[in-house]
Amino acid sequence: MTTWDPARYLQFADDRSRPFVDLIGRIDGEPATIVDLGCGPGHLTAVLRRRWPDAAIHGVDSSPDMVDRAVADTADERTTYELADVATWTATEPVDLIVSNALFQWVPDQLDVVRRLAGSVAPGGTFALQVPVNHDAPSHRLLHEIASRPPYAAQTEGLHAVRGTRGEVYLDLFADLGWAVDAWETTYLHVLPGEDPVFDWISGTGARPILQALPDGLRDEFVTAYKAALREAYPARAWGTVLPFSRTFAVARRQDRLR
């Protein structure tokens, strides 16, 4: 099972947070109850709290390290956190807003899960989500190309699934439920500082399952090869290294009833 490092994930917190800010900027209404699926270390709770100061916010994440960090960093009595797998998690009562930032690409059978969770949204409520859709970018292509070669292939078998969903898929899903849907895609041009910043970025997220699957000595060898390939694909400039990163967004509002 993949484990997650809050400190590594938060290394590029501002850049990682921007899609979430853009997502909630398209949400209308004043939800009284909010569930943040895949809340991570809770660093985006403050964004939700500023937007909806009176809401009850409940974060859900499957990583004990992430939930522990979120609980430790939160003194907000109206914000709670829960350790649970979103694939099986169920709301105990209707929710005004379900929001998710960069989670569903990790969820098996995610469309079935999204459809099930949509049933927990109160009439007039909203389901808003964002996922990366950069599986064809050099960062990911190189990751899987190198990891599929000897001597790494035997250790990383089964870890090369394509992750990411186009906007049309979420549009179809929610529209079929009779919801009003706003779906779009955006490519961010992140300017990253430091040496090997693209590796630092992806090692906290998309590359983590492969890196953890490799034993120590082999991992070091892989990292050396992968860093060299990334430096060639993303050359450093005097003012930083540019990482283009595409994401899919969907904001769906439930109408009076489901079909």
DSSP letters, 136-167, are TSHHHHHHHHHHTSTTTHHHHTT--------H
Classify the phi-psi angles of 213: left when phi > 0, otherwise alpha if psi is within -120 to 50, otherwise beta. Answer: alpha
> What pLDDT digit, counting tens, does each position of 107-165 carry?
989 999 999 999 999 999 999 999 999 888 999 899 999 999 999 999 888 777 766 78
CB 237 within 8 A of CB 156: no
Write down the mean pLDDT value for the chain.
89
Higher pLDDT, 15 or 78: 78
> Which of 136, 129, 79, 139 lies closest to 107 in space, CA to CA?
129
Residue 259's pLDDT band (boundaries 50, 70, 90)? very low
**What tokens does 61 get?**
């994440």
What pLDDT score does 53 carry? 94
What is the DSSP-derived secondary structure letter of residue 109?
A: T
The whole-number average pLDDT for the span 221-237 is 95
For residues 201-217, one letter each, b for 16 or more C-beta atoms within 10 angstroms of the residue's C-beta and e for the rest, the string is: bbbbbbbbbbbebbeee
The architecture in CATH of the region 6-253 reads 3-Layer(aba) Sandwich (3.40)
Question: Looking at residue 157, what is its pLDDT?
Answer: 85
pLDDT at 9 (0 to 100)? 47
Q: What is the pLDDT of residue 258?
A: 42
Residues 32-49 have pLDDT tens digits of 999 999 998 888 888 899
Give the percent of the chain with pLDDT over 70: 92
187 vs 141: CA distance, rounded Å: 17
Task: Report the phi/psi class of residue 161: left, alpha or beta, with left for phi > 0 and alpha for psi in -120 to 50.
Answer: beta
Three-class DSSP category at 113 = helix
Residue 25 has pLDDT above 70, yes or no: yes
Is the model's pLDDT at 241 over the cut of 70? yes
Query: What confidence tier does 93 reach under pLDDT thresholds 50, 70, 90?
Result: very high
Over residues 6-14, mean pLDDT: 53
- The pLDDT of residue 3 is above 90: no
Give the C-alpha separation, 114 to 111, whole Å.
5
For residue 4, how many other CB atoms are within 10 A of its CB?
Answer: 19
